[in-house]
Amino acid sequence: MKQLFPFFIFLFSLAATGQTGTIEGTLTDKEMNNEPLPFANVIVKGTTKGATTDFDGKYIIENVPVGTYEVEFSFVGYEPVKVPNVVVEAGKFTNVSTALGASAAALDEVLIQVQTSRERETALLLDQKKATEIKESIGAQQLAQQGISDAATATTKISGVTSSESSGDVFIRGLGDRYLYTTFNGLPLPSDDIERKNIDLGLFSSSIIESLSISKTYSPTESADQSSGTVNISSKQLSGTQELSAGVRAGINTNVAQSGVYDNFKVSPNASDYQFGYLQNQNFTNVVVPEQVVNQVPYQAFPRLTQQTWNPSVVNTPVNTRYSVSLGKKIGEKLKVFGTLYQSTDFKYRKGVFRQFRSNFLEDSLTDATNYNRTVNTTAMGNVEYRLDDANEFKYVSLFINKLSDEVFEGGRNGEGAIFEETDPQEGLGQFIRDQNTKQTSIWVNQVFGTHRFGEKHKLDWGLGYNVVFANEPNRIRNEVNFNESNVQLGRTGGFQQRKSAQYIDDNEYAGLLKDEITLSDTEKLKTKLVVGLNYRNKQRNFRSQFLGLEENTLGAVRPSSIDDLSSVFTAENFENDLLKFNIQPTDLYTGELDSKSAFASFSLEKTAYSFFVGARYQRDAINVDYNVSNIPGRLGSSVQEYDNPYLTANFKYNLNEKQSLRFAASRTITLPEFKEIAPFEYVSAVGQVTRGNPDIQASTNYNFDVKYEFFPTSDQLLSLAGFYKLIEDPINKVQDRGAAGIFSYFNAGNQADIYGLELETRVNLLKNDASEGPNLRLGFNATRMWHKQDLKNVFDENGNFVKTFRFNNKTEEGLQGASDWIFNANLNFTTNTENPFEATLVANYASDSILALGAPEDQSQADTRYNESIVEEGYVTLDAVFSKRFAERWRLQLRAQNLLNPEVLRSQLINPGTANDNVETKRIVRSYSLGSTFSLGLSFDL
């Protein structure tokens, strides 16, 4: 019921926002064959709002209070046109386009359309053009065109952004998870994963996204805990007065469709415990075992050890499916209600090589490392907007996400598996590993917003958030055995080769924002604004992990008949006959709390040619992690860190003309270590790699500088060139630590990191035809070139004595973890202007090689000869295609083809055995697989 409670509460959630809208359009000249009419006046009668048309005859009037108006168009020597009954809706763009001539235009010559503001690319480009800070966005319109199904994929369409297939992290300008900050409607989001600071953006279906933006320069209204940018997801809300839409999609992955995979797709035994994407039985055990009573706990306390099978099950039809429905209604003049429900099921199959090297020598090798993964993602979101009056509005958003991931990993089935220190080669036995894990993440996000206007020049915004996360791995099953054609024996080292384990994370988070915006001046020649406010965030985590192992009392006491029926020996009878014994580790625990309090202020000044923005934020961050874990002597410990700093930012924008501008930005920020980077709990991956936190890690300080040129030829076209530089003091890195286990951990491995680069972006209409039957062809392209390095330091104590080094292989510097030298993103979109248009889009992405984990010395006294080189994730190209056809007015058929090139994903490492016969450094593949191509067909309906 603990996990179900958020879902039940969600069903009763309500919500509200929006107070002004925008009027925009195009004015043409009837006397000049409907050419654009520049420099004409547009006035909203009864207000002080107005604008002048530009060279393309376009105009925009922002921040018009909700209501019904008369809009007047006038130009010297032409008959004015008055358009009555122009309705302005909250957060919407009302397009009013007409023509002027010697005689008045008839009303049927006036085109009025109301559209959602942040879903359209033109609206987002306009927002980017007018913004003081440097930011880029992608809206619902582009998500649909490019067949983007989630927020994680959406970020990679923005310049300078890549994602790591192996880690799942998003990298902005070469800086990954720890340097980002993620918000939902401007309020912070919790992480769903012990391994990450930010939430998995793949959890956010495009069906709930109105737009996604990345602010690449720092704003004092945001947390200073970032360097590369803030990712903000704006939730969808009701457009117009009502909405009803539904969709269904089905598809298949080519890897899954292979013979021997499709008819034998493996899932864990936990699959029998979940229904409709929700795991019913999450209580593997409720026993928290302290160290002093470990030997007193009988195996019967954990019935799933012997009552549940240890063998995987099989799915009959591993077909990808998606279902979605959205509906909304405007009730009266003040209330809007909107809700959406989405569920997807995806199957993935990967097979390739896994190797692990230590001190340049092969330690573990699996040439048939195989993953079966089934993921069910269920998302429900609702919001209610309530406008009390023209000055006071409220909004409440409730979002519930449940992700269920079931994975079976196998390696060594081909008899070639070799695991360090398991058997001697002369025994003629290979090693086989199977790791079965089900992870369920339930996230409940609640947000309340209010906006209050005190006259035309004073606005107060506030927001409150409460987030809950349950991220559980309730029954992970692992087996390590030695075998050949005639013999299967249980793994013999460590006592936990045959084990079941459970891991639970409970997060609670409170957030608040108060922002007071005062307009000091608002004339055509000068606009000035003062913003002051407060931020608060409190995040609390409870973590628990438990390992239960089964071991033979004597070697060979039990012999499974097959690696596919290991469960036959894990029986109560074998315990009672003393053939097996039960091993239990004391429960690993840690608690973490982040308490962040901030006050901020900013001042902006805007004149015709330039605008200037300065801001300051005073932020106090307190991190407290208490841990009780088995791999630390004495088990108990704590890490208390406090950071109390001012953070400054400045942005300058110079308008070269109406269409071109030059921007400059500078800021100072911080990168706080995460709970998982501090707590020394050891997390073991499916392939056996171990990651452990470091209580001595410290925050990084960042200095950010940006310059950018932007050219907007028309309202929907862009050409930009940006340069950036970041200096990071005490950068944090994931490094393979020295020691017998080859554990990965987190260190301030250098004193300073530098990253600088160039970004080029263009969005251009190759063919634009306004005729009713004419085609359109649009190209979007961005490219990024980065240069990056960090020093590798020697560490000395306060007396100047050498302690350790991060230098290896004669290197005193290395590239930045996660940074690619080159990034390319491109999309080509073809559409027809027919009544039921056809649309086709090609999307391509490439990111060059990047460091997955830094190298490190294995022996501190022989760092140049005994070391582990950096592990590199090699670059590859992806290509997607989306074809869409609307028919019968409200129906749409869409075909998606993803990862058409199906490249091999490779991780490599430079290896030099350093022997007399082999003293040459060569590249070795340490992980390889392909993702397969996915083809799907979808049908949708919208009212």
Distance of CA 680 to the CA centre of its chain: 25
CA distances (Å), origin 373, targets 23, 379, 583, 720:
49, 19, 29, 41
> The tokens 């692992």 sit on which residue?
478
Q: Where does the pLDDT of residue 6 fall: very low under 50, low under 70, confident under 90, or very high at 90 and above?
A: very low
- The pLDDT, as a whole number, for residue 914 is 66
842 is written with which tokens? 């090609």
pLDDT at position 480 is 92
Least confident interval from 47-61, 141-155, 320-334, 603-617: 141-155
The pair of three-digit structure tokens given for residue 727, joined into one six-digit string: 């200096």
Q: Which domain holds residue 39?
A: 20-116
- Residue 65: inside a domain, yes or no? yes
Q: What is the mean pLDDT of residues 869-882?
A: 91
Number of domains comprising the chain: 1
Residue of 409, 558, 428 lying closest to 485 (CA atoms): 428
**Residue 84 covered by a domain:** yes
The tens digit of pLDDT for each residue in 283-294 reads 665 556 666 667
**What is the reported pLDDT for 780?**
86
**Is pLDDT at 116 greater than 60 in this prediction?**
no
Residue 881 corresponds to which tokens in the numbers above? 């295609």
Tell me what the mean pLDDT of segment 679-698 comes to: 79
What would the pLDDT profile of 448-480 be if each residue is shown by its tens digit? 999 999 988 899 999 999 999 988 888 899 999
Determine the pLDDT at residue 5. 41
Question: For residue 92, is it within any domain?
Answer: yes
349 within some domain:
no
Whole-angstrom distance, CA of residue 816 vs CA of residue 749: 11
Cβ pair 424, 397 in contact under 8 A: no
Number of helices (H) and strands (E), helices first, in the chain? 7, 57
Calculate the CA 525 to chain-centre distance: 41
Cα–Cα distance, 285 to 476 (Å, whole number): 12
In a domain, 767, yes or no: no
Q: pLDDT band for position 658 (50/70/90)? A: confident
pLDDT of residue 12: 35
Q: Domain holding 55: CATH number?
A: 2.60.40.1120
CA distance 745 to 741: 12
pLDDT at 929: 95
Sheet hosting strand 733-736, strand order edge to edge: 682-684, 690-692, 744-747, 733-736
Of the ranges 18-22, 285-289, 457-461, 625-629, which one carries the lowest mean pLDDT score?
Answer: 285-289
HEC string for 639-693: EEEEEEEEEEEEEEEEECCCCEEEEEEEEEEEECCCHHHHCCCEEECCCCCEEEC
Average confidence (pLDDT) over 652-656: 90
Residue whose structure tokens are 């590859």: 876
Token pair for 148: 């983007």
DSSP-assigned letter for residue 574:
H
Beta carbons of 250 and 319 less than 8 angstroms apart: yes
Partners of 336 in the β-ladder = 330, 385
- Give the pLDDT of residue 332: 86
The DSSP code sequence of 251-320 is EEETTTTSTTTGGGEEE-GGGGGEETTEES---S------GGGGGG--GGG-THHHHS-SS-EEES---E
- Two tokens at 59? 């105009």
- Average pLDDT on 98-124 reads 61
Would you say 121 and 831 are in contact if contact means Cβ atoms under 8 Å apart? no
What count of Cα atoms within 13 Å lies in the side-chain half-sphere of residue 884?
A: 24
Burial letters 749-782, b for 16+ CB under 10 A, else e: bbeebbbbbebebbbbeeeeeeeeeeebebebbb
Say whether 6 sits in a helix, a strand or coil: helix
Q: Do the domain assignments include residue 798?
A: no
Task: Answer yes or no: is pLDDT of 42 > 90.
Answer: yes
- The pLDDT score that the predictor gives to residue 16 is 30
The pLDDT value given to residue 916 = 59
Across all residues in the chain, what is the average pLDDT? 84
pLDDT at residue 104 is higher than 60? no
Residue 746 CB partners (closer than 8 Å, separation 6+):
673, 677, 693, 694, 697, 732, 733, 734, 735
Q: Residue 703 has what pLDDT? A: 94
Question: Which residues, other chains included, contact 639 with Cβ-Cβ below 8 Å and sequence gap of 6+?
Answer: 623, 624, 625, 627, 678, 679, 695, 696
Average pLDDT for 130-152:
64
Give me the pLDDT at residue 362, please.
85
**Cα torsion 33, 38, 39, 41: sign:** positive
pLDDT digits (tens, 9 = 90+) for 520-576: 988 878 889 999 999 999 999 998 888 888 889 988 899 999 999 999 999 999 988
The answer on pLDDT for 144 being more than 70 is no
- pLDDT surpasses 70 at 379: yes
736 found inside a domain: no
* Beta-bridge mates of residue 171: 162
Q: How much is the pLDDT for 10? A: 37
pTM equals 0.82
Residue 46 lies in a domain: yes
**pLDDT bucket at 58, cuts 50 / 70 / 90:** confident
711 backbone dihedrals φ, ψ, rounded to 5°:
-130, 120
